[in-house]
A and B are shown apart, each in its own frame.
Chain A
């Protein structure tokens, strides 16, 4: 349906390119924005989870802390009888299910009668509770963490978690509270009261916490050792710092440091070779243990990715649908164009009544249809007009051809013209540039032994010039009947032509009368190109002097002069119009008078006809195919004496 490079194809590719770009930009923006929201919401979830966990742990830890604190207070007040201490401790243990044991340990030599060490300890054993007095060389508690650290700090202290081997490998932690007694009126540090807390319940609470699909929580001790962890093998195993080293994960070290400093944070948690994780951590209020909530990046963004996938699928389905609809619409809209193309070809072949595609819409297609209809009508009309014009032109041309025949018939065209006059041999030629022209020549015999000849050129264009020429030729013959001198003939001719010459046409004219007995040539020149005489005697060309009179037809009263020249037997006179000397070729180079003279000298021995034919050939060679712009007229007269 969609042809390559068709309108539909081009529209669809452009529309698709733009919409796809828009969608991609929108999707990217949307993804960026929503992923921030998703991350924020994940962070809030993690914080809430950790806070919740923290609260539940504190709910257990804080009452536990009260036990040794209460013991310390009562010991300071001296309420207890020393012998009843183990009863009290047994009661503490048996009344608190998460308490595994409780102890009161005194400073060295607190009771000199009992020796250096004195410590009362109650703990679970089987179903019951047992108490004992311990301490001595075999159990020197003064150097144990749970005693020494709070003793030095004079502050309460949570021990690191530890496995109590004696109690069956139960994970425990001890809370120690220093206590003081008055002795000799002075308040002195006297020992440590403790509870040992089982930590199994902690694991249960923390392990229950879940976030996303596989997110979990774990508890790290002050030293970064796992107190709880879904993976049991991690518990009380390596610290976060040694794992950071081992897994080449600097972020773990940073997290460990934050937790020691009590800083909480939400951050990426990248461990090389594992999927990307996010972590949130915060410390418990009671001790410096830290709750860590961890979940995979993939799960955090899972819902977002799902929505995006759906969006992309919908968008592509939408674009596909759009393409199909656009292709259909454009093809239907553009269908007439193909038909118009066919119509145009048909019209080009001359079938102006070619049927056009029917257009029912009122859009650009309708405009095209109307333009086509208009073109058909105009073309049909144009062709009719053209035919008429051509017919008219042909008519004029044929009339002009007839006019040319008439015009040429006026000029003498029989050669040799005077077989009974051996004194002259002559030849003349007139070649019009258009059907009719303005050049003329003429010759005739006056009074038996006077030979009159003339050559001339009318100014101006084809038809008017030819009429003026005909008039000149007719007047010449009429006038020459009466007047016998060239100057008189010229003046009379001029007067006649100038009379009522509103169009200001004129004719350049050379008229000569040759006395056949003497060879004396009398002539007058009215602005015509001076002729030449080729002298037989020396083989030279002799150019006549330039005209001293203006062309005929201009000023009625102009006085024309005449001059004479002798012709010797064998001399030839060559007269011409400027169509010869100014014959032009394609490069606008003129044939020229020099070339003309050159040819004349070349054929000085030839007869007039040969001279003129030779000149004509030379002109043709010069002009070649370039159209002739002016009439060419030549007249050659040989005087034979």
Chain B
């Protein structure tokens, strides 16, 4: 999986691209921990190009969510593909994540 980051307004946007499976999760987790250490308080995961996620991947989403809650920040997930959305639904994560249909909505939403 590849990921790129972009700062827009005061949001740090992470674009996920490919498969976030167990073998990729470690590297991605490190990168995201680095991002958290930089002190961002508004982070968006744009999952438009994310086409697979394993439970290890979900764990990283959870870590982000918990950390952002800890600093009164905001973690938003947007542009989920239907298959990924289904996994979120099935695991009940839809309830704990702020999920937006697209990046525009994620940026606008306060």
Contact = CB atoms under 8 A, between A and B. Distances in A.
A504 B66 contact: yes
Nearest to A593: B86
Given A461-B22, A504-B66, A546 B59 contact: no
Interface residues of B, number: 18
Given A461-B22, A505-B59, A506-B59, A527 B66 contact: no
Residue among B22, B92, B96 with most chain A CB within 10 A: B92
Contact of A550 (B25, B59, B63, B96): B96
B7 interface: no
Given A506-B59, A629-B21, A630-B54, A550 B89 contact: no
B43 to A, nearest CB: 16
Given A459-B59, A508-B55, A547-B92, A554 B22 contact: no
Interface string B2-32: 0000000000000000000110010000000
Contacts of B56: 459-461
A262 interface: no
A506 B92 contact: no
A504 B66 CA distance: 9
Contacts of A549: 92, 95
Interface in B38-55: 54-55
B50 to A, nearest CB: 15
Nearest to A630: B54
Given A504-B63, A554-B96, A546 B58 contact: no
A550 B21 CA distance: 20
Interface string A546-557: 111111001100
Interface residues of A, number: 27
Contacts of A638: none
Contacts of A460: 22, 25, 55-56, 59
Given A457-B55, A459-B59, A504-B63, A546 B90 contact: yes
Interface string A561-580: 00000000000000000100
Interface string B54-77: 111011001100100000000000
30 contacts: A459-B54, A459-B58, A460-B25, A460-B55, A460-B56, A504-B62, A504-B63, A504-B66, A505-B59, A506-B58, A506-B62, A526-B92, A527-B90, A527-B91, A527-B93, A529-B90, A546-B89, A546-B90, A549-B92, A550-B91, A550-B92, A550-B95, A551-B91, A551-B93, A554-B62, A554-B96, A578-B55, A629-B21, A629-B22, A630-B22
Given A459-B55, A460-B25, 13 more contacts: A458-B55, A459-B58, A459-B59, A460-B22, A504-B62, A527-B90, A527-B92, A546-B89, A546-B90, A547-B90, A550-B92, A551-B93, A629-B22
Closest CB pairs A-B (n = 6): A527-B91, A459-B55, A527-B92, A550-B92, A547-B92, A459-B59
